[in-house]
Structure 1
């Protein structure tokens, strides 16, 4: 190929790649109502697979084993939803008192705005209404389309049990499908790759479940010490929102902060709630998740944040939840294909950063142990 042909083919290649990416993104957005349940079904089917296989080893038929798995998953999810619903019902009973307190705070804010910005209280509400009206005109169509898409997606989530059932039922069929698609690749290599994908998904999801339990305990403990009402509900809600990496726990802190402002006489309670959630976030990001999930899902924070933003733009909250496990799966695939190894390296954690975090964790752990030992020795002497 001549230099002139190279110059012509390069722009054509770039244009073709960009066109394919554009069509792919458009297709994923247009078919989100089906693709989101499918993506969640794949993850849940991978999680339920070990239980299904164990039941089958106990001489239970595959169909009945899958049904038992679905019942177990439904009971667990239903239990969490029931608990949250009961907490919301109890919370609604105190709503009139909270509204009254909110009106008092609004009056205080109005006085402060009048004294600070010289805007009379009688003009503040119309000004706020006009601002909200203008905002609604600008963003109304976007908001309506978002609500419509979300409603459609929630309706499609009813298909989850059906999709999971067939993924587990036809798992050997799908394995043979990959063998036929990549018929030039040794069967052992494909099976090894599928096992790695299964392992990384299970490690991420099960590790995330344990992280949620730990964070829920820390949140609830901190809120109880501050005397915040509905501490269990807010602590659990904040922990559940950690399924949205990096930003979920901050979103979960907004409600208890608002509750502390409405029910407490001092703003320092709100500061304390913010401090509790910030401390939990620091512990989660630097110690809990790295030690619980470990290096099995070694995606660097930059790749995770970019994936989080892109997932949110593509599929909303569901895309943010699915971003990290699917980036981890992509990394496993890239690492297993020689020509794609550089991209797997780009998604992975830096060795230097990992070593520094490990040294920091060991150093902090050693200091804590030394402090505990010193305190024990002092007690023995006394």
Structure 2
């Protein structure tokens, strides 16, 4: 045997030994599970990213559809009640839609009227707050006029940012509103058919799909009712505190506290900042600190006491979970994310519990 043949034989022997070693090597079970889970996680994340990208491309349709679906979930029981009273479904849906539009317009009108009717006094209080800062901090190189101008700019940027997160232009707002109204009408009219078709095409047993869909609808209904109750409680506490402290614009402060309560955490921050600023302009630093304490009391202690009764067992999420989901939703999707994050999380938890009882799913 030549040297070349001996070298080739040696290489073949080494290769065979390596193959036998690889074949005999067994990875730990936990390691294989972790690897499969990692690839599945990457695949799910990729699918979600693609879905979110496609939704962003049709945001002018997706946003009105999301708002209409949430409103339909809340208003459908009223349409069902009218149908039980032998009112034709199309007529009942139309009546509910008209009532809903009237309530929205009336609420917006009340808020705008309450603020604009006292806009001079509100701005005078804000100017008083800025003037106090200017007088108490003489070494600063800015004047009260510059601070007021900066406040105008901040308000303008905040307003444009909030509206811009929903619609890119005024025409988009009008088109989205009209489209949303028609979507809501069809959802109210054909709710049973739409939800039945959806539950049957979730890739799950029909009864499981229907239970998941019912749980999602219940989450949104319970969330809306809970936010209304919590907002009313916060508004009452803040209003009583404003009356005791002698802070003006009590009605406006209470109304802003109630309306902004529908945006978790962020709404409380905006309403609290508004109340504290008015209190500072009216009575100085001591009154502002007292008002801040009342706002914190309303949005923490009182809210924690009311929350279990407001949300019940269907939407019981840990406050940290709500905070994280709302913050993440706000960062990704703006105001819509802040509003929908918590109920969607609750709906996801309900869906998980439903799937745990189905063999082969969880």
TM range (shorter): 0.7 to 0.9
Tell me what 2:237 maps to.
Answer: 218
Alignment partner for residue 167 of structure 1, among 184, 187, 196? 187
User: For the structure 1 residues 29 and 64, does the alpha-carbon distance in structure 2 shift closer, same or farther, using more than 3 Å as the test?
Assistant: same
Find the structure with the greater CA-based Rg. 2
User: Which residue of the other structure, out of 69, 72, 79, is the alignment partner of 2:106?
Assistant: 79
CA contact (8 A) 1:66 1:168 kept: yes
Cα distance, 1:62–1:268 mapped onto 2, change above 3 Å: same
Q: Which of 54, 57, 79 is the aligned partner of 1:52?
A: 79
**Aligned residue number for residue 233 of structure 1:** 252
* Backbone CA RMSD of aligned residues: 3.5
Whether contact under 8 Å (2:166, 2:335) holds in the other structure is no
Change beyond 3 A, Cα 1:259–1:290: same
2:208 touches 2:355 (CA, 8 Å); kept in 1? no
Could you tell me which of 82, 85, 89 is aligned with 2:116?
Answer: 89
**Unpaired segments of 5 or more residues in structure 1?**
345-382
1:247 Cα deviation after fit: 3.7
Matched, 1:246 2:273: no
Structure 1 residue 84, shift from structure 2 partner: 1.0
CA distance in 2, matches of 1:194, 1:164: 18
1:30 Cα offset (Å): 3.9
Name 1:36's counterpart in structure 2. 63
Stretch of structure 1 that moved more, 29-38 or 203-212: 29-38
Give distance in 1, aligned partners of 2:232 and 2:162: 31
**8 A Cα contact 1:210 1:292, kept in partner:** yes
Name 2:354's counterpart in structure 1: 336
Distance 1:99 1:195 in 2: 47
1:275-305 per-position Cα deviation (integer Å, ceiling 9, x unaligned): 1111111234321111222222122223222
The normalised TM-score by structure 2 is 0.76
Task: Give the match's secondary structure for 1:74.
Answer: helix
CA distance in 1, matches of 2:303, 2:322: 13
User: Is contact 1:212–1:240 with CA below 8 Å preserved after alignment?
Assistant: yes
The superposition leaves residues 173-196 of structure 1 with CA deviations (integer Å, 9 ceiling, x where unpaired) of 2234235424661x3333333333
1:327-369 Cα shifts (integer Å, max 9, x gaps): 111111111112899x99xxxxxxxxxxxxxxxxxxxxxxxxx
- Structure 2 vs 1, CA of residues 46 and 96 (structure 1 numbering), >3 Å: closer, same or farther? closer
SS in 2 for 1:296: coil
Report the alpha carbon displacement of residue 246 of structure 1 after superposing the two structures with TM: 3.0
More helix, by proportion: 1
Cα distance, 1:46 vs structure 2: 1.0
In the alignment, does 2:279 pair up with 1:260? yes
Is it true that 1:303 corresponds to 2:321 in the alignment? yes
| Closer/same/farther in 2, CA of residues 192 and 222 from structure 1, 3 Å limit | same
Of residues 207, 221, 245, the one that matches 2:226 is 207
Structure 2: unaligned runs, 5 residues or longer? 1-22
CA–CA distance in 2 between the matches of 1:232 and 1:318?
A: 27
The answer to whether the 8 A contact 2:241-2:294 is kept is yes
State whether residues 122 and 278 of structure 2, in contact with CA within 8 Å, keep that contact through their aligned partners in structure 1: no
